[in-house]
Amino acid sequence: MPALDRQGDVFVLDLGDGENRFHPDWLAAVDAALDEVEKADGPRALVTAATGKFYSNGLDLDWLFAHADQHQDYVVSVHALFARLLSLPVVTVAALQGHTFAAGAMFSLAHDFRVMRADRGFWCLPEADINIPFTPGMSALIQSRLTPRTAHEAMVTARRYGGHDALAAGIVDHTADEDAVRTTAVGIAQAQAAKAGDTLATIKARMYAPVLAALRDTANPLG
Amino acid sequence: MPALDRQGDVFVLDLGDGENRFHPDWLAAVDAALDEVEKADGPRALVTAATGKFYSNGLDLDWLFAHADQHQDYVVSVHALFARLLSLPVVTVAALQGHTFAAGAMFSLAHDFRVMRADRGFWCLPEADINIPFTPGMSALIQSRLTPRTAHEAMVTARRYGGHDALAAGIVDHTADEDAVRTTAVGIAQAQAAKAGDTLATIKARMYAPVLAALRDTANPLG
Amino acid sequence: MPALDRQGDVFVLDLGDGENRFHPDWLAAVDAALDEVEKADGPRALVTAATGKFYSNGLDLDWLFAHADQHQDYVVSVHALFARLLSLPVVTVAALQGHTFAAGAMFSLAHDFRVMRADRGFWCLPEADINIPFTPGMSALIQSRLTPRTAHEAMVTARRYGGHDALAAGIVDHTADEDAVRTTAVGIAQAQAAKAGDTLATIKARMYAPVLAALRDTANPLG
């Protein structure tokens, strides 16, 4: 389960050591961690990271198939997490040490910056292959953070981007060796810790107003 | 006139061997070809190509000047073609073996991908030079597929991009030698043929919802 | 104070030799210069430039603090200048010979193109550091001209971009040595002088319709 630690001004949220899919309990734990980061005072920033082969594989499809009647509420809660992270009043950096797929990849795009392991692991939006179309909110999130060309290729072809390809496509901001992924992310976060606060919150809220509105559309989240 | 052929899972639509301007008969023939592609079953993709010096020079201005009273209906039909191609439920690749100008260039942007001949031919939006402003729908289409910087330069300066420049600007995805333009496009299309279907249709429809709405605004297509 | 000169088809507007902040008198002088450019006939283009260490440092915060009751009207007038420049019916080029900060950087983005001195001076949006969030109109302007990644980094981190970094990030279109900044900008403007006119005005107005609407929202300019 997700666990929050603090190193200097940087909170480090470890998303887990499995596939780190979005089980409702996982979502609640991440939400509680964001509460703690948001309520803290003074300079601070957030790094999300994970342990093992996966950063996150996204939606918990096993849980979802077993609770099909809760599909809409579940998507609302995932959208709410994306919206909260996208507008968090501190700088956020995702340390992608392993596979980052589907809603896990979207979660990474809701951060301010991304550092990806250079030599192993893929960033991928497989939705076109697995017959789960992006919700309007997910589509808005992805398209707001990537160039038109990269968003189109990633969403239409389900291409698996290794670290170097993800950097070239502008999906991630840095690559690093396995050992340096988390420390690089913490370094970026520490350098931006003084930005935490209301001004940053307003800047992000205005930049992504249409995306946040789409993600918070609880009446029709599935489109 | 446009002619449709099939190679494996890839439909190849040859747009013609002249300037391949959008005469109403040409538009009807392309529309009929898209009907055939859309109604087919199973894995499939579409390549559009042409023969000779031109891929397409866009609007049939001779016909339009002779039928000025049909200006609005004509633009509605061109917009409808762009919208249909942009949201087609199969992957589409434009093989640009020759000049690709004005509405021909916009037509190319409505494809998923573009392959351009490296050493000859230009991709160009000459509207600023020939005093035909982009309609709101055309503007929305172009701006949805290019970076802000490339869209601005292409639309404001009417720059003629050769293959290498078009690749550097992100207008096309690949360049190829004359002999390899069509085969490269077919290869890309073949690799994506399994994507054909409803999920892809939904993904594209949501990605480009505002563009499709602008292109389908039949009340005021000219702005 | 701003002074307008003409070299061939190119009007050159020197913004001043100080920090060139947006005092109300400065805004009025720039507006009068744009009147002259807009009312002139025939081929013409505009270069804005400055003398000394600064291109522009943006809002006149000293004046604003002394006239806090006029805050909203002042922002309306700055937004109006951005909107006017963004939709001017001639091609515009900013010659950035010195520091270009905050609203001065936004002013530069309202031009068609930017040339920046290669070896000295910074382009920077320091708002996240000085606790002045971007207005919705300013945010719309910046995001309409930069890739999502560059806009995010520039707006969230207040990064100072030197000439080479600004070119790599797509903020400016060219870099030049100190002596060549203005002449390079004049050369680009001269080459596009024939574009001046109604078609260009319509193209720009349609490309940036949502941005212009946000900048012209006089009811709630501060968000």
Sign of CA dihedral C172, C115, B173, B37: positive
Query: Cα–Cα distance between C158 and A171 in angstroms, integer?
Result: 21
Query: Cα–Cα distance between B4 and C173 in angstroms, integer?
Result: 42
Residue A194 Cα, gap to closest chain C Cα (Å): 8
Chain C residues in contact with chain A using a Cβ-Cβ cutoff of 8 Å: 127-129, 131-136, 139, 143, 147-149, 151-153, 155-158, 223
Give the pLDDT of residue A110.
98
Q: Which of C202, C208, C212 to mutate to test the interface with B (most CBs of B within 10 A)?
A: C202
Q: What CATH topology corresponds to C3-215? A: 2-enoyl-CoA Hydratase; Chain A, domain 1 (3.90.226)
Give the pLDDT of residue A109.
98
pLDDT digits over C118-174, tens only? 999 999 999 999 999 999 999 999 999 999 999 999 999 999 999 999 999 999 999
- Cβ separation of B132 and C199 shorter than 8 Å? yes
- Cβ separation of C149 and A144 shorter than 8 Å? no
CB A18 within 8 A of CB A56: no
**B203 contacts in A (CB within 8 Å)?**
127-128, 133-134, 139, 155-156
Number of H helices, E strands in chain A: 11, 12
Residues 6+ apart with CB under 8 A from C105: C58, C123, C124, C125
Give the pLDDT of residue A129.
96
| Buried/exposed C69-82: b ≥16 CB within 10 Å, e otherwise | eeeeebbbbbbbbb
Angle at which helix A198-207 crosses helix C136-145, to 10 degrees, equals 60
Chains in contact with C, counting 3 or more C-beta pairs less than 8 Å apart as contact: A, B
Query: Cα–Cα distance between B104 and B220 in angstroms, integer?
Result: 22
Mean pLDDT, residues C10-18 taken together: 98
Strand partners, C152: none
Nearest CA in chain B to A223: B206
Residues of chain B under the 50 pLDDT cut: none
Percent of chain A with pLDDT over 90: 100
Question: For residue C184, which amino acid is it?
Answer: T
**B127 contacts in C (CB within 8 Å)?**
199, 203
Residues 6+ apart with CB under 8 A from C212: C83, C86, C87, C205
Task: For residue B119, give Cα distances in angstroms to A194, B150, B184, B190, C28.
Answer: 51, 21, 15, 25, 50
CB A154 within 8 A of CB A171: yes
- Cβ separation of B156 and C203 shorter than 8 Å? yes
CB atoms within 10 A of CB A22: 25
Query: Cα–Cα distance between A90 and C217 in angstroms, integer?
Result: 29
Domain spans in chain A, listed from the N-terminal domain onward = 3-215
Encoded tokens for A88: 């968090």
Of C129, C148, C223, the CB nearest to A206: C223
- Cβ separation of C128 and A206 shorter than 8 Å? no
What are residue A34's phi and psi, to 5 degrees?
-65, -35
- Cβ separation of B139 and C207 shorter than 8 Å? yes
**C126 contacts in A (CB within 8 Å)?**
none
Nearest Cα residue to C62 out of C22, C98, C32: C22
Of B133, B143, B157, the CB nearest to C199: B133
Reported ipTM: 0.97
Give the pLDDT of residue A72.
97
